Amino acid sequence: MKRLLFVVIVFCVTAQISDAQLWKLRRWEAQVGVGPSFFFPDIGGYTHGENILGFKDLNYRQTRFNVNGNLRYRLGRTANVRLSGTYAMLHAIDERGSNENRGYEAVTNLFEPAIIGEFYFIKNKYESSYLFLRGKSLWALLSSLDFYAFAGVGGAAYKVNPNEALTQRGITEPGSTKFEGIDVIIPAGVGATLIYNPNLNFGVEFGGRWAKTDYLDGFDPAVVSKVNDKYYFLNFTVTYKLKTTARGFPSFR
């Protein structure tokens, strides 16, 4: 009986140590994501007094898409850093809102490189136990979810395709136009991932980008505008965990 108890204790301790070190074997992760983009520029939209929390500016006509790729490095069980690259299409139109009679419209193509830090405020404790969770209860499935917050810094290289009304803006319209450029953006948001197997995670991430420029739609009303342009991404992600070599580099084999 004592021998059996000793074996059980040794097994439990060994399993805990093995689980604690498992993430070190796959420090590198490659991730792709795709989803809609939501744009909040000076073209289109309602004035602040008529638009509580900006919800009235969410509409199908403004929504476009983004495609995202990341290379992530795990600093620890609850902290990561990642290099991110995103292509996005953004759309702005005066079709509804406070400036319908103006008739401006702009389509923006944007490339966004960024470096982002992640912190997991809810982290599953048993990354190696997913085999025992698959096909089990809903509670067991939920226990393999991770939740994190992220923030970082990046750039936005953008080019705007304006319609004729915006290109030939009247001389009485306040503000100025600029149809391409590069500027700083600050990404931040939250996400969740589900451990599926030793190689794959599935997830969802929602984040905003606050731009240092007010020309992502090609137009800065100057006198009226109080904040710079901003946009949001909702991404559905797939993550592949790469093996780590003895020197700490990712293995793509």
Are the CB atoms for 73 and 130 separated by under 8 Å? no
Query: Which one, of 28, 31, 71, lies nearest residue 251 by Cα?
Result: 28
Lowest mean pLDDT among 92-96, 124-128, 181-185, 241-245: 124-128
Residue 48, pLDDT > 60, answer no
Q: Is residue 16 very low, low, confident or very high in pLDDT (cuts 50, 70, 90)?
A: very low
Distance (Å, whole) CA 238 – CA 170: 47
**Model confidence pLDDT, tens digit, residues 208-229:** 999 999 999 999 987 665 788 9
Among residues 86, 211, 209, 218, the alpha carbon closest in space to that of 160 is found at 218
Measured CA distances, 230 to 125, 207, 222 (Å): 36, 11, 16
3-state secondary structure of 78: coil
- Going along the chain, which residue ranges are E strands? 28-40, 64-74, 79-93, 105-122, 145-162, 176-177, 180-195, 200-211, 219-220, 230-244, 250-251
DSSP code of 10?
H
Q: How far apart are CA 242 and CA 192, in angstroms?
A: 19
Kindly report, residue by residue over 75-101, the tens digit of the pLDDT.
998 999 999 999 999 999 887 766 777
Question: Which tokens in the block code for residue 244?
Answer: 């780590």
Would strands 200-211 and 230-244 be described as parallel, antiparallel, or unpaired?
antiparallel
Q: Which amino acid is at 19?
A: D
Percentage of the chain modeled with pLDDT above 90? 51
What amino acid occupies position 171?
I
Altogether, the residues listed in the chain come to a count of: 253
In this prediction, residue 53 carries a pLDDT of 46
For the chain, the first-to-last Cα distance in angstroms comes to: 47
Token pair for 128: 């190696």
- The model's confidence at residue 244, banded by pLDDT at 50, 70 and 90, is confident
- Where does the pLDDT of residue 202 fall: very low under 50, low under 70, confident under 90, or very high at 90 and above? very high
pLDDT: which is higher, 56 or 60: 60
Q: What is the pLDDT of residue 7?
A: 43
CB count, 10 Å around CB of 159? 13
The domains of the chain, with CATH numbers, are 26-244 (2.40.160.20)
Supply the pLDDT for residue 103.
86
42 compared with 155, residue with greater pLDDT: 155
